[in-house]
Amino acid sequence: MNNELVVIGRHIRHEFGDFVVLDDVSFSLYQGQTMALLGHNGAGKSTLIKILLGLILPSSGEIDILGKTQLAKDARADLRIGYLPENVSFYDKLTGEEILTYFAELKGIGPRKVNQLIEEFGLGYAKDRRLNTYSKGMAQRLGFAQAILSEPELLLLDEPTVGLDPAASQFLYAKIDELKRQGTAVIVCTHELSLIENNLDSALILAKGRSLAAGDMAALRQQSELKVKITSPMLEQAIQGSARLQQISQGNALYVDSMDKPELLEYLTSQCGVFDLSIFEPGLAEIYHHYNNQASGICSQLK
Amino acid sequence: MFMNNSQFRRSPVMVIAKKEVRDSLRNRWVLFISLIFLVLSLSVTFAGSAIKGELSLPEISALMSSLSTISVFIIPLVAMLISHDAFVGEDEAGTLLLLLSYPLTRRQILLGKLLGHSVIMIFTTCFAFGFTCMLLLLLADTYDGFSTLVHFMQFIFSSIMLAVIFILLGYVVSLKATEKAKAVASILLLWFLFVLIYDLLLLTLLVADLSFINQGVFKVLIVLNPTDIYRAMNLIGIEGGSGSLSVFSDSGWGFSGLCGAMLTWISILVAACYVIFNKRPL
């Protein structure tokens, strides 16, 4: 597991008339991995999802999904791709079971799977209730169940946790985790960076159609050159002997390059006798804002 | 781990049609339309003569004329009301994008919806007008049973054709519209043009008695508007079709010719919907 490529996009470009929506976007995703697709509104995320679904063809570039180059629309029947659109509102006069059965029948999936998913997503007690009596969390669980009806190898989730309470979000991410363990590759398009941060293997950050950064968290941190923050209540005293460290310190904190971190920790602990340390790696939000600020031509002050 | 789905594969057209029918049953459209048609047909049939100060059953030809004159206003409106949000509504809800991500073609989605909405109109029309016909045959002995049945069957058949045409016009609006509110405004405009304005212009031309407007021109003008084809189908050969109605009762097309005109409208509109659907931006 984790070694088979599920999606590989090479130099994808898409234009609507004169307007370039995506420009030279490349990325890859392996089996059992989650990729966060990040970017402001209008960054090109939805277009990329539509390309992945085979709904639109890119103007240039190539995309391989599950070993098939480019999506011929009619060949999609063979591909197991699940999709949950952003803010989808299903047919509110139909019951939860009827809605799931409708989508299952369209995919040629039998009632046994429908019943299994209804139970798995804790909707058994409400399956005969109309959708207009469902809470946002229940409706989203139903939508998620719809997305995994065909036991997809690639799952595309567009803002799956927007408007959900923490427990409902946690439930969905636990499900994503379960699917990952079974080998499903997941692409999550989201603005909720703190939620996705602990659940991703890689991220693709888009701005105005261009790929600003792509890779796993370690690579993103390294590419961004954001500093690691090290704090300790003993720090001010400990670094008094080092003019260099005093230069990069701010109060009880030191800001260092990621590559210098091991050496510095070694120095602080063995030579300065510091034993109470906290290390803050740059988070996804910092990395995301850093790239967006850079893209807007504003120098990041985080460095 | 993946099941063999072939045993559960049902025609997507049928699956979508079934969902449309179920949706309309749930939001009470079927009940609402059935009641409207029933009240309309019963009141025209059994109380239509009250306007003349008496309570008597009309001649079958006069009855067909009255029924079609009223139905031509109601059927197009009802048909467009059930179809106007078929696409724009699903687009706003996000389910159209989802459906398109499924292994379905746009043709299947279009035909599924058309089948579902047509079934609703067929059921409601047959129920309301069929019930009236049955009641008439049971209660009134002045009518020739066979002739009454034929007249009503023709009437129901033409009503269904008219409904299908306006369902498709509703789809055209729905596929072109960017939001539901605009679709509602557009169907009202279309209804106004087809049902009221066009006939007003036709009547003006008829009364003006212009030299270049002969029977041949009227023959063409009638098939350019499905509501006029409908009128002509139901007034054809009716004796006593006088005044402005005579242009329909004596249109020169014949019943099969008018059916052909209806089918042509349906074919053109299905093709138009398909083309517009394919071009609709996602």
CB of A280 less than 8 A from some CB of B? no
Do residue B93 and residue A88 have CB atoms under 8 angstroms apart? yes
pLDDT surpasses 70 at A205: yes
- Tell me how many domains chain B contains: 1
User: Which of the pair, B281 or A117, is modelled with greater confidence?
Assistant: A117
Q: For B22, which of A86, A98, A146 is closest by C-beta distance? A: A98
Measured between beta carbons, which residues in chain B are less than 8 angstroms from residue A154? none
Do residue A110 and residue B7 have CB atoms under 8 angstroms apart? yes
Nearest CA in chain A to B101: A53
B65-98 pLDDT per residue, tens: 889 989 999 999 999 999 999 999 999 999 999 9
User: Worst-scoring range by mean pLDDT, A77-81, A219-223, B138-142?
Assistant: A77-81
Q: Where are the domains of chain A?
A: 5-221, 227-281
CA distance B84 to B115: 15
User: DSSP label at B49?
Assistant: G
pLDDT surpasses 50 at A302: no
Domain that holds residue B118: 9-279
DSSP characters over A126-150: GTTSBGGGS-HHHHHHHHHHHHTTT
Do residue A109 and residue B7 have CB atoms under 8 angstroms apart? no
CB proximity under 8 Å: A 98-117 to B: 98, 102-110, 113
CA distance A13 to A31: 25
Q: For B12, which of A106, A151, A182 is closest by C-beta distance? A: A106
| Token pair belonging to B140 | 């009134």
In-domain check, residue B1: no
In-domain check, residue B152: yes
| Token pair belonging to B264 | 């042509």
> What predicted TM-score, i.e. pTM, was given to this entire model?
0.88
- A130 CB neighbour count, 10 Å cutoff: 16
Q: Any idea which architecture A5-221 has in CATH? A: 3-Layer(aba) Sandwich (3.40)
CB proximity under 8 Å: A 76-95 to B: 76-77, 80-81, 83, 85-91, 93-94
CB of B94 less than 8 A from some CB of A? yes
Percent pLDDT > 70 in chain A is: 94
CA distance A25 to A212: 9
CA distance A93 to A77: 29
User: Which of the pair, B206 or A113, is modelled with greater confidence?
Assistant: A113
CA distance A207 to A210: 5
Instruction: Give the N- to C-terminal CA distance of chain B in Å, as an integer.
Output: 33
A10-32 pLDDT per residue, tens: 999 999 888 999 999 999 999 99
| Token pair belonging to B110 | 């279009």
CB of B31 less than 8 A from some CB of A? no
- A54 CA to chain B: closest CA distance, Å? 7
CB of B101 less than 8 A from some CB of A? yes
Average pLDDT of chain A is 86
Q: For B282, which of A55, A81, A109 is closest by C-beta distance? A: A55
Residue of A55, A56, A105, A189 to mutate, testing the B interface (most B Cβ within 10 Å of its Cβ): A105
Measured between beta carbons, which residues in chain A are less than 8 angstroms from residue B7? 110
The helix/strand/coil state of A214 is: strand
Do residue A105 and residue B10 have CB atoms under 8 angstroms apart? yes
CB of A129 less than 8 A from some CB of B? no
CB of B180 less than 8 A from some CB of A? no
**B21 close to B118: Cβ distance less than 8 angstroms:** no
